[in-house]
Chain A
Amino acid sequence: MARTYDYLFKLLLIGDSGVGKTCVLFRFSDDSFNNSFISTIGIDFKIRTIDLDGKKIKLQIWDTAGQERFRTITTAYYRGAMGIMLVYDITNEKSFENIKNWIRNIEEHASQDVERMIIGNKCDMEDRRVVSRDRGQQLSIEYGTKFMETSAKLNHNIEEAFYTLARDIKGKMERGQGQTVGVGGTTGRYQQDSTIAAQGNNLCKNRHTFHCDFIAF
Chain B
Amino acid sequence: MNEQCALHFTGPPGSEVDDLGFRRPWDVKLDENSTYFKAANAYSEFWTQYLPTLVRRRKRWEKVDPRTHPLLMQRFIHKGVPSTFRKEIWLRNCPPRGEIPSTSVPNLVAEEIRLDLPRTFPDNIRLRNTKAQNTVGRILYELARFVPSIGYCQGLNFIAALLWLLLENEERTKDLLIFLIKPRSSWYGMDMSGLRRDMRVLYELLRQEVPVICSTLVRLDVGLDLLLGKWFLCWFLEVLPMETVLRIWDCFIYEGDVWFFRVAIRLLRINSIKIAACKTMDQLLTTIQSIGPSKPSLKCHLLIQNAMSEKITQDQVDALRDRFSKEF
CB proximity to B under 8 Å, residues A41-64? 41-43, 45, 47, 60
Q: Which residues of B contact A80 (CB under 8 A)?
A: 281
Task: Return 29 A-B CB contacts under 8 Å, by A number.
Answer: A17-B115, A17-B154, A18-B115, A18-B119, A36-B118, A36-B119, A36-B123, A38-B1, A38-B4, A38-B120, A38-B122, A39-B116, A39-B154, A41-B155, A41-B234, A42-B233, A67-B153, A69-B189, A70-B192, A72-B192, A73-B196, A73-B226, A73-B229, A76-B226, A187-B222, A189-B223, A199-B327, A203-B191, A203-B196
Q: Which residues of A contact B181 (CB under 8 A)?
A: none
Q: A34-B1, A38-B4, A43-B226 are in contact. Are A65 and B192 (CB under 8 A)?
A: no
Contact of B119 among A38, A43, A199 (CB under 8 A): A38
Q: Which residues of B contact A207 (CB under 8 A)?
A: 191
Cα distance A10–B5 when bound, in Å?
28
* Residues of chain B whose beta carbon lies under 8 Å from any beta carbon of chain A: 1, 4, 112, 115-116, 118-123, 153-155, 157, 188-193, 195-196, 200, 203, 217-218, 221-223, 225-226, 229-230, 233-234, 238, 281-282, 285, 324, 327-328
* Residues of chain A whose beta carbon lies under 8 Å from any beta carbon of chain B: 17-18, 26, 34, 36-43, 45, 47, 60, 65, 67-70, 72-74, 76-77, 80, 186-187, 189-190, 195-197, 199-200, 203, 206-207, 210
Contact of A190 among B217, B233, B234 (CB under 8 A): B217
Q: A217 CB to closest chain B CB, in angstroms? A: 9
Cα distance A39–B285 when bound, in Å?
19
Q: A181 CB to closest chain B CB, in angstroms? A: 16
Cα distance A188–B155 when bound, in Å?
27
Q: B319 CB to closest chain A CB, in angstroms? A: 16
Q: Which residues of B contact A39 (CB under 8 A)?
A: 116, 119-120, 154, 157
Cα distance A210–B191 when bound, in Å?
8
Contact of A70 with B154 in the complex, beta carbons under 8 Å = yes
Q: Which residues of B contact A47 (CB under 8 A)?
A: 282
Q: A73-B225, A196-B324 are in contact. Are A36 and B217 (CB under 8 A)?
A: no
Contact of B226 among A17, A34, A74, A196 (CB under 8 A): A74
Contact of A45 with B282 in the complex, beta carbons under 8 Å = yes
Contact of B112 among A67, A187, A196 (CB under 8 A): A67
Cα distance A133–B196 when bound, in Å?
40
Q: A72-B196, A76-B226, A187-B223 are in contact. Are A203 and B328 (CB under 8 A)?
A: yes
Cα distance A196–B324 when bound, in Å?
8
Q: Which residues of B contact A73 (CB under 8 A)?
A: 192, 195-196, 223, 225-226, 229
Cα distance A155–B190 when bound, in Å?
35
Q: Which residues of A contact B195 (CB under 8 A)?
A: 73
Contact of A60 with B119 in the complex, beta carbons under 8 Å = no
Which residue of B120, B225, B238 has the most chain A CB atoms within 10 A of its CB atom? Answer: B225
Cα distance A78–B223 when bound, in Å?
14
Q: Which residues of B contact A26 (CB under 8 A)?
A: 1
Contact of B193 with A203 in the complex, beta carbons under 8 Å = yes
Contact of A41 with B233 in the complex, beta carbons under 8 Å = yes
Cβ-closest 5 pairs across A and B: A36-B122, A190-B218, A41-B230, A200-B327, A196-B327
In the complex, the chain B residue whose C-beta lies closest to that of A73 is B225
